[in-house]
Structures are given as structure tokens and as C-alpha cells.
A and B are shown apart, each in its own frame.
Chain A
């Protein structure tokens, strides 16, 4: 059971938009920055979003992040088949003194 809760799967058609939610508590998302990671099949995770809504260099602006209270959301617009991957949210949990991740969401681009 993950500390952060994500939907197991989401799907949408190419060109459409999808959002992935990440729910936590005041000890983690509520008081710390959230990051999002993309893990393509058979590869290592890659940072997509940090500090709730910032994109590292090279990440297209089709990817966006937001946070409200104890929840965070990853948005992906203009979906491409190459976006099919597992997506994870992560943040520091001040009560646990531990980095925590969501269980992951599998994105299918139909």
C-alpha cells in the first residue's frame, strides 16, 4: 500500500489530453514539493516535473504539473503513442522522514 494514491491506469486517444492524480496528506504533498516521473517500458525512470510544476530542460510543454492542498495532478496534452508508460508521483514525507512514491499509473494511448 503506497503512501501516495494514484489510479492504476488511464487511457485516451492520440491527440487528446489526460490527467493523472496523486493524493496524499499534510505530511507529504501538503507541505512538500511534488515530482513526477515517466518510466517507459524496460527503462529507468525519468524526471518529468519537479517542484510541483517545473519542467526540466528537454521536457516538452505538453507535460504540466499542479498541486492543490494534499493532491497533485500531472497533465499530458497532445497524446502520442510514445507517451505510453508508467507515471509516478513522488515527494518527501516529513513524518516518515522518507521519500514516498505513488503506486504508479499506466498510461495507454488507444
Chain B
């Protein structure tokens, strides 16, 4: 069974940093591209970033480019999102997704003073 479990969310002040993790199991992690998608409270889905299976291709939404960094460790079956210079508008539930076919349950990031 495919499982994706996000962690690392929490309350952070504007300008602060946070690192999200996504632990994958139930499939060959190294064979799939992975994504981060976020959803602000009461709002729709917003794609954040994608990384190919071997990390050769990485893409970011304009709204996070230069502030967020996606990475993966295929040996640890893990996906990461390093978030720096956080803003209030980054407040959202962050989901990791395997090629958008399978989604984790999400982790809440709140940026507030």
C-alpha cells in the first residue's frame, strides 16, 4: 500500500524557516517524480514544486522560487521541502504527492507573528 506521511509543519514567524519531510513507503520511491502542493485555509490547490526521480529536473511555482528548495533522498525514501523567508501567505496545508496519483494527509504550516 502506498503511504506518504508528511511532517515538519508548525508555527513560524515571518522571515523564518521550516523544513518539511515526506516519508514514502509501499512503492519504489526512486522510480517516481514527487511533488509538493499546498492549500491555504478555505482556498484551492496550489502546486509548489516538483522533482524528478533522479533529481535531474526540478520546478518551482513563481510564488516560492528563490525561497523554497525541494530535494529527495532515494536511499531514505524521503522527500523534503526547505522553506526560507516565510511569509504570511505561505500559511497552508502542505501535501506531498507521488505524480499526483497518491497524496499524503498533509502538514499545516502557519506563518504568523
Contacts and interface: CB of A to CB of B under 8 A. Distances in A.
Interface of A is mostly: strand
A97 B59 contact: yes
Interface residues of A, number: 22
Contacts of A100: 47
B105 interface: yes
B44 A104 contact: yes
A102 B44 contact: yes
A9 to B, nearest CB: 13
B101 A45 contact: no
A37 B61 CA distance: 20
Interface of B: 35, 37, 44-47, 50, 59, 61-62, 95, 97, 100-106
Interface of A: 2, 35, 37, 39, 43-47, 50, 56, 86, 88, 90, 97-104
